[in-house]
Structure formats: C-alpha cells, structure tokens
Amino acid sequence: MDKDFNFYLKYLGASEQAITSGKRVFSSSFRGKPESELTVNVHDLLVSVFNETLIHSINRDLMEEYRKYAPRQLSDDLIEQVDDAFFQVCGYRYYWISEWFRYSTNLSFDASSDITVLTESHRDMIETGKKARRGRLFRDHVWVNTYSPQLLEGRITAVIKDGNIVSYSSVTDLPFNASNIAVWTHDEYRKRGYGSLCVKQAVNWCARNNRIPIYLASSSNTASIGLAEKLGFDMFAREIRTTVNVQL
C-alpha cells in the first residue's frame, strides 16, 4: 500500500496492518460530529473503496452494531447495501447517502497572470451576493474565523473580471497534513478554464506548504469530475457517505 496515503487510512481510523489481517470496520474520531463550526452536517459513516478494498469508517457509538450488517465485498449495488446496513443501526433517523470520488496529484503548474491571490482588501468583493442572506453579526463572525485566516495565508485565489470574482478556489486543512481544495465558478463564466486556473494555483499552494492536495467530487457532478481529470488528478478512493443534519 502506497505510503503517501497513510494519512487517508488514519483519517478513516484504519491501518495497513489491520486491513492486511482482514479487519474492515473501523471507528474514527472524525465521524459523528460536524466537520467545522459553520456546518450542522455530520457524516456518521464513510465507506471507502481504496486499493480495491472495502473500508468502513463509522461513528464509534454505532460501530459494534454496524459490524453485524456491513457489506464485505464490492458489488454493483454497494450503495444500496451500505444504505440498508446503516439504516438498521442509525436509529431510523432521516439521512442522505451519496457517492464521492477523492482525487490527489503530485503535479505542479505554471503561474497565471489571470489569477489574483485575494487579501482582506477584497472583502466587499468576496461578500457580494451574501449580504442579502445573512446579517452583519454572522458575516463578521465568518469573516474573522474563516475568511481572514485563509486570506492572510494566501489560501484563496480568484479570477476577477469587471470588478467581480467570477471563479475562485480555497484551501482548507484536513487532518494528517492533507488539504481540501474547493472551487466555484459563476454560471455565466463556466467552460472558459477559470476553475482550472484556480485549482492549479491551489495545488501549487499545497506544494509550497508541504500539504497533500485533496479534491473531492460528487459522482453526480460531471463538471467537477471532468475538471479533476483534465488537470491530471488521480482518483485514489471512491466513497459512500451518510449525512445527517444535527438540527433535524
């Protein structure tokens, strides 16, 4: 197993030794709680197809019961099998189940004159479109706790046209020296390569800061998958995850 992906096994709560011995269901401290203070979504279960091996990473409170039902083999109806297994142990709460592809790359890319590294001076531009949705106290909280730290470290890059951000990428930290790359492009400016430019510079930021770049795409998002493949990213895991809104 590739040593470069030990971080991913740790994220799942697994280990190469345990997998080699036949263990497939693991508990993880990253399951069963919101991933940040700004979300109410919880992933109690993450089932990964990694190196042709099925690995279950679950909230430790559900682990022993889930172990009885967890599918052990890859199959064409794996999502349904995972859904049925989780449904039997989750307390019959309403939840979503979805499929994702996890990508990474060792590549580096040329700099682009079309890219702007955003700073705190771009606040009005960044907040455009958000003001009508939330009040000032919330926007200030998000700015101080989320945007400002990212901007100070050069983690947000953008393409700016006519004084507006039309595409941007951001880099947020994941456990074990990995970083997640998120990208957004305005509908009117898609298919112009702007998203690719932003992702390239996010990858370069990861390389400069000794982080492992991670790009996560929903299996239903063909545009996001196409972007990753166009840039030469390698898909190293397929994931099936459950999502619960803790406010329900």
User: pLDDT by residue (tens digit) across 19-65?
Assistant: 999 999 999 999 988 766 556 788 999 999 999 999 999 999 999 99
Question: Do 122 and 203 share a structural domain?
Answer: yes
The answer as to whether 12 is a domain residue is yes
Question: Do 89 and 10 share a structural domain?
Answer: yes
Question: Do 126 and 88 share a structural domain?
Answer: no
Q: What is the mean pLDDT of residues 154-177?
A: 94
CATH number at residue 217: 3.40.630.30
Question: Do 91 and 168 share a structural domain?
Answer: no
Helix (H, G, I), strand (E, B) or coil at 152: helix
pLDDT at 2 over 60: no
Alpha carbon separation from 216 to 76, 97, 103, 121, 240 (Å, rounded): 22, 16, 6, 29, 12
The answer as to whether 44 is a domain residue is yes
Confidence of residue 135 (pLDDT cuts 50, 70, 90): confident
Question: Do 227 and 129 share a structural domain?
Answer: yes
Question: Do 122 and 84 share a structural domain?
Answer: no
What's the chain's length in residues?
248
Confidence of residue 130 (pLDDT cuts 50, 70, 90): low
Cβ contacts of residue 19 below 8 Å, gap of 6+? 1, 9, 53, 55
Question: Do 177 and 133 share a structural domain?
Answer: yes
Instruction: Report the percentage of the chain scoring pLDDT > 90.
Output: 81
Question: Do 199 and 127 share a structural domain?
Answer: yes
Question: Do 99 and 167 share a structural domain?
Answer: no
Domain count, the chain: 2
The answer as to whether 16 is a domain residue is yes
**CB 70 within 8 Å of CB 84:** no
pLDDT at 5 over 50: yes
Question: Do 124 and 227 share a structural domain?
Answer: yes
pLDDT value, residue 207? 96
Q: What is the mean pLDDT of residues 117-128?
A: 93
For residue range 176-215, list pLDDT tens digits in order.
999 999 999 999 999 999 999 999 999 999 999 999 999 9
Q: How many other CB atoms sit within 10 Å of the CB of residue 68? A: 10
The answer as to whether 80 is a domain residue is yes
The answer as to whether 215 is a domain residue is yes
pLDDT value, residue 248? 47
User: What is the pTM (predicted TM-score) of this model?
Assistant: 0.90
Domain of 26 in residue numbering reads as 3-103+239-245
Strands, E assignment, 175-221: 178-185, 212-218
State both tokens at 235.
């898909």
Question: Do 127 and 65 share a structural domain?
Answer: no
Confidence of residue 10 (pLDDT cuts 50, 70, 90): very high
pLDDT value, residue 132? 60
pLDDT value, residue 3? 45
Confidence of residue 136 (pLDDT cuts 50, 70, 90): confident
**CB 168 within 8 Å of CB 184:** yes
Instruction: Report the percentage of the chain scoring pLDDT > 70.
Output: 93
State both tokens at 94.
């309403």
The answer as to whether 110 is a domain residue is no
Q: Phi-psi category of 55—alpha, beta or left, where left has phi over 0 and alpha has psi -120 to 50?
A: beta
The answer as to whether 31 is a domain residue is yes
The answer as to whether 51 is a domain residue is yes
Question: Do 151 and 48 share a structural domain?
Answer: no
Average model confidence (pLDDT) across the chain = 91
